[in-house]
């Protein structure tokens, strides 16, 4: 059981896979914006990839851990302390009953908090993830508030650590279904606007005008780059509406889509067009990274507070 | 026409909603290996695949085979008769724009059996069409920040009932008292692709 002392900017229960299977009746797939980091967080505490966890946005919550468990943070690096001692990202930790996990500001948009056995909530349409717009799923269909109590599971495998890092190069894209656009998107600088949320990220830069400006509504894959009539591209993320009626000249590759979810307003990025084969190769590389989490040896581990937490 | 749509999806473009729904239904009933989901749009189906376990080229070949044997959906969906109170804030303007009286607008809206062309925008939001030509109006120049649940609205050749409070630029001509989406139900959306809708003045 975990109790919310402070909720943070926007903290909600999500799953890596979201809510597949209902898009044909208009239900967005949702789930973690940075799926890869959500899966990593789960693996660090020995959970299956799709266990429910917390998606933490911009500024983190303060959480009282009521019963001894294990916890891990993955995704953007957030300032965090467990009972006053610094808590690193990308490594599983023991937490004793009654301890306070305080998560501060992040160096990127989002991080994920996994606990042993995952957060236990009712599944709605087959998923524990929160649909914040339609207000169902997760914890009462909403972001966490002060005083909320969340049930957590019990079983979990051994703790693990991931020692990798992310590049900060261009966001790679592949061609979409409407011609001309990819070349205009790549090679120039784009600035993340303040319209950046779980639905998508809009970029400011030299507008791209495509003809026709509207197309027959079609279902949109994750990472689709929509070009509305104002010519400012929007990368569509987890909570994107099922269908869209604007041209889609390019799609962010699956290996890089989590990085888009970590961008903060004002940051600048470039897009780089790559062949589809390269996109698949990069995705396999990301899967290998996930498989490269290492078991932790407590006797030699130098994690601050680690030995103390074992008592 | 089958187009590559990123490394994890293909977009199959078809001649209309009936064929799109038929293909999506066929794929859902008998999914090809490595297919994750098939989602219909107005005249297309998005076919998502697991790029680690399937090749888009092989999937495209499989889809060509499906398309060759495809017939527009033969089994009709459910027919929903939906009572509407025609009291919407845009009814007068729609009458003005179309050169009809309020009663004629109502009669035109309720004169045809509409089909669910596709769903999207929000859970339970069904795009219904086609409206009679004489009822065509453009969207509002400035969309409303919120449209009340149950609003019956028109835009271009389409009509819709808002399942929840949502922003929107469609013109509201009435309201219907019914639940369009219930996530706790086994059949969460009242209106499914291929269903038909007959509006009736309440």
CA distance B11 to A247: 13
Q: Does B130 touch chain A (CB under 8 A)?
A: no
Give the residue on B whose Cα is nearest the Cα of A215.
B42
**Domains of chain B from N-terminus onward:** 2-68 (3.30.1360.40), 79-201 (2.40.100.10)
> Is residue B174 within 8 Å of B161, Cβ to Cβ?
no
Give burial (CB, 10 Å; 0-12/13-18/19+) of A292. Answer: exposed
Q: Which of A265, A305, A228, A274 is nearest to A57 (CA)?
A: A265
Residue A131 C-alpha, separation from nearest chain B C-alpha, in angstroms? 10
> Is residue A113 within 8 Å of A71, Cβ to Cβ?
yes
Q: Does A125 touch chain B (CB under 8 A)?
A: yes
User: Full-prediction pTM beyond 0.90?
Assistant: yes
Our measurement of the distance from residue A30's CA atom to the centroid of its chain's CA atoms, rounded to an integer in Å, reads 11
> Is residue A117 within 8 Å of A153, Cβ to Cβ?
yes
| Phi, psi torsion values for A43, nearest 5 degrees | -65, -30
Our measurement of the distance from residue A125's CA atom to the centroid of its chain's CA atoms, rounded to an integer in Å, reads 21
SS3 per residue for chain A: CEEEEECCCEEEEECCCCCCCCHHHCCCCCCCCCHHHHHHHHHHCCCCCCCCEEEEEEECCEEEECCCEEEEEEECCEEEEECCEECCCCECEEECCCEEEEEEEEEEEEEEEEECCCEECCCECCECCCECCCCECCCCCCCCCCCCEEEECCCCCCCEECCCCCCCCCEEEEECCCCCHHHHHECCEEEEEEEECCCEEEEECCCCCCCCCCCCCEECCCCEEECCCCCCCEEECCCCCCEECCCCCEEECHHHHHHHCCCCCCCEEEEEECCHHHHHHHHHHHHHHHHCCEECCCCCCCCCCHHHHCC
Q: Residue A59 forms beta bridges with which residues? A: A105
- Contact flag A125-B51 (C-beta cutoff 8 Å): no
- Contact flag B189-A287 (C-beta cutoff 8 Å): no
- Contact flag A22-B39 (C-beta cutoff 8 Å): no
- Contact flag A216-B127 (C-beta cutoff 8 Å): no
CA distance B10 to B3: 6
From B41, B44, B124, residue closest to A25, measured CB to CB: B124
Residue B51 C-alpha, separation from nearest chain A C-alpha, in angstroms? 7
Beta-carbon pairs below 8 A across chains A and B: 135
Task: Work out the mean pLDDT of chain B and round it to a whole number.
Answer: 94
Residue A35, both tokens: 């799926």
R_g of chain B, CA atoms, integer Å:
19
Per-residue pLDDT at A306: 40
Element (H, E) at B58: helix B56-68
Q: Does A255 touch chain B (CB under 8 A)?
A: no
> Is residue B170 within 8 Å of B82, Cβ to Cβ?
no
Higher pLDDT, B11 or B53: B11
Our measurement of the distance from residue B13's CA atom to the centroid of its chain's CA atoms, rounded to an integer in Å, reads 16
Tens digits of residue pLDDT in A35-77: 999 999 999 999 999 999 999 999 999 999 999 999 999 999 9
Per-residue pLDDT at B148: 94
Per-residue pLDDT at A310: 34
Q: Does B170 touch chain A (CB under 8 A)?
A: no
- Contact flag B122-A131 (C-beta cutoff 8 Å): no
With bands split at pLDDT 50, 70 and 90, how would you rate the model's confidence at B168? confident
Give the residue on A whose Cα is nearest the Cα of B116.
A25
With bands split at pLDDT 50, 70 and 90, how would you rate the model's confidence at B7? very high
CA distance B100 to A296: 75
To the question of domain A171-290 being in CATH 3.40.50.720, the answer is: no
Give the residue on B whose Cα is nearest the Cα of A285.
B52
Give burial (CB, 10 Å; 0-12/13-18/19+) of B121. Answer: buried
- Contact flag A21-B121 (C-beta cutoff 8 Å): no
- The CB density around residue A135, as the number of other CB atoms within 10 Å, is 13
The DSSP 8-state label assigned to residue B67 in this structure reads: H
- The CB density around residue A88, as the number of other CB atoms within 10 Å, is 16
Per-residue pLDDT at A211: 81
Residue B193: helix, strand or coil by DSSP?
coil
For residue A134, the chain B residues in CB contact (below 8 A) are: 122-123, 164, 181, 183
Higher pLDDT, A273 or B141: A273
Peptide bond into B130 cis (omega under 30): yes
Residue A125, both tokens: 């349409």
Give burial (CB, 10 Å; 0-12/13-18/19+) of B140. Answer: middle
Q: Read out DSSP for B9-26? A: EEEEE-SSHHHHHHHHHH
- Within 193-252 of A, beta carbons closer than 8 Å to B belong to 216-224, 241-244, 248, 251-252
Question: Beta strand pairing status for A62-65 and B44-49?
Answer: unpaired
Residue B77 C-alpha, separation from nearest chain A C-alpha, in angstroms? 14
* Share above pLDDT 70 across residues of chain B, in percent, rounded to a whole number: 99
From A125, A174, A287, residue closest to B188, measured CB to CB: A125
Residues of chain A under the 70 pLDDT cut: 180-181, 298-311
- Contact flag B123-A248 (C-beta cutoff 8 Å): no
- Within 89-118 of B, beta carbons closer than 8 Å to A belong to 118
Q: Does A285 touch chain B (CB under 8 A)?
A: no
For residue B163, the chain A residues in CB contact (below 8 A) are: 26
- From first CA to last CA, the distance across chain B in angstroms is 44
Per-domain residue ranges for chain A? 2-164+294-309, 171-290
- Contact flag A221-B8 (C-beta cutoff 8 Å): yes
Span B16-20, average pLDDT? 92
């Amino acid at each position: 059981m975990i109790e919310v002392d402070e909720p943070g900017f926007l903290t909600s229960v999500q799953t890596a896979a979201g809510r597949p299977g209902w898009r044909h009746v208009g239900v967005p797939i949702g789930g973690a914006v940075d799926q890869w980091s959500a899966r990593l967080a789960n693996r660090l505490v020995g959970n299956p990839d799709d266990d429910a966890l917390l998606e933490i946005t911009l500024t983190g919550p303060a959480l009282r851990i009521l019963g001894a468990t294990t916890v891990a943070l993955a995704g953007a690096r957030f300032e965090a302390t467990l009972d006053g001692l610094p808590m690193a990202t990308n490594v599983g930790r023991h937490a004793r009953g009654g301890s306070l996990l305080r998560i501060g500001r992040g160096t990127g948009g989002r991080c994920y908090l996994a606990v042993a056995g995952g957060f236990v909530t009712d599944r709605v349409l087959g998923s524990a993830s929160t649909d914040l717009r339609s207000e169902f799923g997760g914890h009462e269909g909403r972001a966490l508030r002060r005083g909320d109590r969340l049930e957590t599971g019990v079983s979990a495998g051994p703790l693990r650590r991931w020692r990798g890092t992310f590049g900060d190069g261009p966001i790679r894209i592949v061609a979409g279904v409407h011609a001309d656009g990819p070349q205009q998107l790549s090679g120039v600088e784009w600035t993340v606007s303040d319209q950046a949320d779980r639905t998508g990220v809009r970029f400011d830069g030299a507008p791209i005008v495509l003809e026709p400006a509207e197309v027959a509504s079609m279902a949109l894959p994750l990472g689709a780059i929509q070009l509305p009539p104002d010519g400012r591209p929007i990368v569509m993320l987890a909570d994107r509406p099922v269908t869209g009626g604007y041209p889609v000249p390019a799609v962010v590759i699956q290996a890089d889509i989590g990085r888009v979810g970590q961008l903060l307003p004002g940051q600048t990025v470039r897009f780089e067009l790559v062949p589809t084969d390269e996109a698949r190769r990069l995705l396999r590389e990301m899967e290998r990274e996930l498989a490269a989490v290492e078991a932790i040896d407590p006797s030699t581990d130098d994690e601050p507070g680690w030995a103390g937490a074992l008592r | 026409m089958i187009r590559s749509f990123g490394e994890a999806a293909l977009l199959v473009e078809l001649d209309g909603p009936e064929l799109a729904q038929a293909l999506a239904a066929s794929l859902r009933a008998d999914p090809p290996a490595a297919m994750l989901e098939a989602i219909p749009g107005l005249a297309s189906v998005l076919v998502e695949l697991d790029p680690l376990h399937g090749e888009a080229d092989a999937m495209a070949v499989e889809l060509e085979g499906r398309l060759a044997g495809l017939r527009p959906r033969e089994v009709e969906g459910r027919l929903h008769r939906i009572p509407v109170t025609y009291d919407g804030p845009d009814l007068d303007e729609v009458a003005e724009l179309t050169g009809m009286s309020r009663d004629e607008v109502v009669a035109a809206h309720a004169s045809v059996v509409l089909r669910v062309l596709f769903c999207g925008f929000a859970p339970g939001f069904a795009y219904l069409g086609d409206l009679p030509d004489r009822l065509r109006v453009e969207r509002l120049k400035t969309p409303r920040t919120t449209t009340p649940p149950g609003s019956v609205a028109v835009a271009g050749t389409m009509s819709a009932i808002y399942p929840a409070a949502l922003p929107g630029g469609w013109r509201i001509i009435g309201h219907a008292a019914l639940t369009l989406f219930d996530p706790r139900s086994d059949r969460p959306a009242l209106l499914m692709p291929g269903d038909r809708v007959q509006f009736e003045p309440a």
